[in-house]
Amino acid sequence: MNILVTGGTGFIGSHICVALLDAGHQVVIADNLRNSKSQTLDRIKVITNKEITFYETDMTDETAVDNIFSNHSFDGVIHFAGLKAVGESVKIPLTYYYNNLVSTMVLAKVCQKYNVNRFVFSSSATVYGDNESPFKETMELLPRTNPYGETKAMNERILTDIARANPDFSLSILRYFNPIGAHESGLIGEAPNGIPNNLMPYVTQVAKGKLEKLRVFGNNYPTVDGTGVRDYIHVMDLAEGHVAALENLTEGVHVYNLGTGRGTSVLELVKAFEEANHIEIPYENVDPRPGDIASCHADVMKAKQQLGWTAKRDIIAMCRDAWRFEKNFKE
């Protein structure tokens, strides 16, 4: 199939483009390069030996998005483009609501104009808010009080209503847990601008000596060792989950958790990283980060039963692959 991938030069999007190309699909990428680099395109081509068409595009610009669709006949879209830093979203909520909601509505509107009826939306476990783990797709959406999570929940509702009003429209909503790691080539991976918010890129930068030590946010949570527990999933497992969702897409609305179903604490991840890469990660315990929940992990049965997909790579592989990318990465 010929697929438009918005946000396709980003950490998650670039890995899905590799998986799509490896599965024999054609890929067109639209990205504004606000939080990614155009070099990623060359690296995707090196990994897959396939050509990609790229448009540097602000996804809120309907004319620009329409122009892309007028040049191609798409069988479907996978929509990653969006601002995604929780902390930043609290500081500039209007930017987040405008960018993340308008870009989705523009894309859905242009899909309707060009009769493109397969839509895969990149959502997040954040929409489950403070529900009890394991999170199930049938749970009520309770986004935690951060505008980023709210935009994910709102986009889910907008797209669900569009699908319900249009029987030809097929929508797959994929709720990610904590994607980490990198493609085994070490050519693409997670390279956040500035000081990393997320755990794994912070750990890899400590390993590289760019940062002095890891601050462990809270060590009195009701968890195995007092530190926060998350369901980390290898980004290539996540990518293969997208291909499975796209290839199994039928009319209507389908929601899937993409996780491993296993929780890992901060200290367990640090230990796994040290074992996988034979590098010590110095850390200090500091106060909990506001807005963090103690523990979350996915119920993964639905994707397994309906898509025939499960995550295969373990935490050691995630740590090893994340470090390989960091070692190769040049600013």
Which of residues 64 and 279 has its CB atom nearest to ligand WQD in the complex? 279
For the bound state, the minimum distance from the C-beta of residue 117 to ligand WQD, rounded and expressed in Å, comes to 26
Smallest separation (angstroms) from ligand WQD to the CB of 195? 9
Least distance to ligand WQD, CB of residue 228, Å: 2
Task: Give SS3 for 201.
Answer: helix
Smallest distance, Å, CB 113 to ligand WQD?
29
Measured from the CB atom, the residue of 167 and 282 that comes closer to ligand WQD is 282
Residues assigned a catalytic role: 148
Q: Name the residue number minimizing CB distance to ligand WQD.
A: 228
What residue spans of the chain are helical by DSSP H?
Answer: 11-22, 39-48, 62-71, 86-91, 93-113, 147-165, 199-208, 235-247, 266-277, 301-307, 315-328
Is the preceding omega at residue 147 within 30 degrees of 0, hence cis?
A: no
Asked if 266 and 228 touch (Cβ cutoff 8 Å), the reply is yes
Q: Which residue lies nearer to ligand WQD by CB, 72 or 271?
A: 271
Closest CA to 44 of 36, 2, 205: 36
Residue 47 or 200 having the CB closest to ligand WQD: 200
Kind plus residue range of the DSSP H or E element containing 6: strand 2-6
Closest CA to 123 of 274, 250, 216, 12: 12
The CA-to-CA distance between both ends of the chain, in Å, stands at: 34
Interface ranges with ligand WQD (CB under 6 A): 84, 86, 124, 126, 178, 197-199, 202, 215-217, 228, 230, 266, 289, 292
